[in-house]
Amino acid sequence: MTRVRNPQLNKNGELIHLLSLERLPSEIVTHILDTATNFVSVNDREVKKVPLLRGKSVFNLFFENSTRTRTTFDIAAKRLSADVFTLDIGRSSTSKGETLLDTVDNLSAMAADLFVVRHSQSGAPYLIAQHVAPHVHVVNAGDGWHSHPTQGLLDMYTIRHYKKDFSNLVVAIVGDVLHSRVARSDIHALKVLGCPEVRVVGPRTLAPAGFESMGTRVFDNLQEGIKGADVVIMLRLQNERMSGALLPSREEYFKTFGLTPEKLRWAKPDAIVMHPGPINRGVEIDSAVADGPQAVILSQVSFGIAVRMAVMAIVAGNSA
């Protein structure tokens, strides 16, 4: 782990894996977003298919179940004309005691080109990327609380689409920031793209002061936190958190941090409201906001397919 070079880049500085937005050069982030623009138009066409990954084998390795995220990668890969193989890891050989890297070695020997990896443990995609042969690529689809880079990228795409430029933006991320890989990925990407003010907003128990060291301002009051914001990113409240002592009841949470049309007026009049989905109506977000004119939540979903197509097309085109 003493290597200095970013394991996501080859020696020419080209993207070969997407593991985290941390330490990713802004030119690469911008290149991904620019490439995604082309794929947005592909998804609007009658024939939503380009031959860029034709004859390539993409493996979805979901060690942690997420039908929603897996489907987005499945769609993106098939629209690039790849052959897609989804492994239900819980039922495969890993349950027979095969190690993670043995599984990866076996699939690589079957001539895999790209692994999409979701794992409950932070760093698993890094471990795989360091292990695979030079022609194999790894895309992180979420690892533990650490990172969810394609979500971060699609959020950046969405912000750029609606706000054009990051250089004067105030972006507020609201909710359970502590447990959110989305929040971490967004913060890294916003910093890389030059966003001057990123705020995290939530109960003190869920947005601890440590986030200040990431260059964000921390608020435990929603009004102060979203005041004057151009972009409000609402995070999903995980039901499983509610059982612990970290949070009051759902009703109490909604009263304090749930975004209603009234509270949204604290942000700028043209502020956009984002959410990684799936939304909890009446918990972190009111239906009047989720279905209202400032919400861009479904645009995020659309752009997400294009961004994932861009990431896969770019890494598959470079070699280690």
Q: Of 67, 213, 243, 249, which one interacts with its own copies (CB under 8 A)? A: 67
Residues 6+ apart with CB under 8 A from 17: 7, 8, 125, 129, 137, 138, 139, 140, 315
What is the rounded radius of gyration, in angstroms, for the C-alpha atoms of the chain?
Answer: 19
Q: Of 13, 23, 26, 111, which one interacts with its own copies (CB under 8 A)? A: 111
Q: How far is the CB of 316 from its own copies (least distance, A)?
A: 10
Q: How far is the CB of 120 from its own copies (least distance, A)?
A: 16
Task: Quote the CA–CA distance of 173 and 275 in Å, as a whole number.
Answer: 10
Helix spans in the chain (H): 26-44, 67-79, 100-109, 124-131, 149-163, 181-192, 222-226, 239-242, 250-257, 261-264, 287-290, 297-317
By beta-carbon proximity to its own copies, the closer residue of 38 and 99 is 99
Please tell me whether residue 206 adopts helix, strand or coil conformation: coil
Contacts of its own copies in 204-243 (CB under 8 A): 239
Q: How far is the CB of 25 from its own copies (least distance, A)?
A: 28
Q: Is 54 in the site for its own copies (CB under 8 A)?
A: yes
Query: What one-letter code names the amino acid at 274?
Result: M
Q: Of 27, 98, 251, 262, which one interacts with its own copies (CB under 8 A)? A: 98
Pick the stretch among 47-55, 118-126, 223-231, 262-270 that binds its own copies (CB under 8 A). Answer: 47-55
Q: Is 168 in the site for its own copies (CB under 8 A)?
A: no
By beta-carbon proximity to its own copies, the closer residue of 106 and 121 is 106
Strand partners, 174: 201, 234
Q: Of 6, 8, 60, 72, which one interacts with its own copies (CB under 8 A)? A: 72
By beta-carbon proximity to its own copies, the closer residue of 8 and 103 is 103
Residues 6+ apart with CB under 8 A from 8: 15, 16, 17, 18, 19, 20, 23, 24, 129
Structure letter (DSSP) for residue 54: T
Task: Quote the CA–CA distance of 220 and 158 in Å, as a whole number.
Answer: 26
Q: N- to C-terminal Cα distance for the chain?
A: 18
Task: Quote the CA–CA distance of 212 and 207 in Å, as a whole number.
Answer: 10
Pick the stretch among 116-124, 157-165, 211-219, 278-286 that binds its own copies (CB under 8 A). Answer: 278-286
Per-residue contact flags (x/-) with its own copies for residues 283 to 312, judged by CB under 8 A? ---------------xx-xx-xx-------
- Give the 3-state secondary structure of 232-251: EEECCCCHHHHCCCCCCCHH
Evaluated on CA atoms 46, 47, 52, 53, the torsion sign reads: positive
Evaluated on CA atoms 70, 72, 77, 81, the torsion sign reads: positive
Q: Is 48 in the site for its own copies (CB under 8 A)?
A: yes
Q: Is 44 in the site for its own copies (CB under 8 A)?
A: yes
Q: Is 137 in the site for its own copies (CB under 8 A)?
A: no
Q: Is 87 in the site for its own copies (CB under 8 A)?
A: yes
Q: How far is the CB of 228 from its own copies (least distance, A)?
A: 29
By beta-carbon proximity to its own copies, the closer residue of 83 and 224 is 83
Per-residue contact flags (x/-) with its own copies for residues 14 to 43, judged by CB under 8 A? -----------------------------x
Interacting residue ranges for its own copies, rule: CB under 8 A: 43-49, 54-57, 65, 67-68, 71-72, 74-75, 78-79, 83, 85, 87-88, 91-93, 96-99, 102-103, 105-111, 239, 277-281, 298-299, 301-302, 304-305
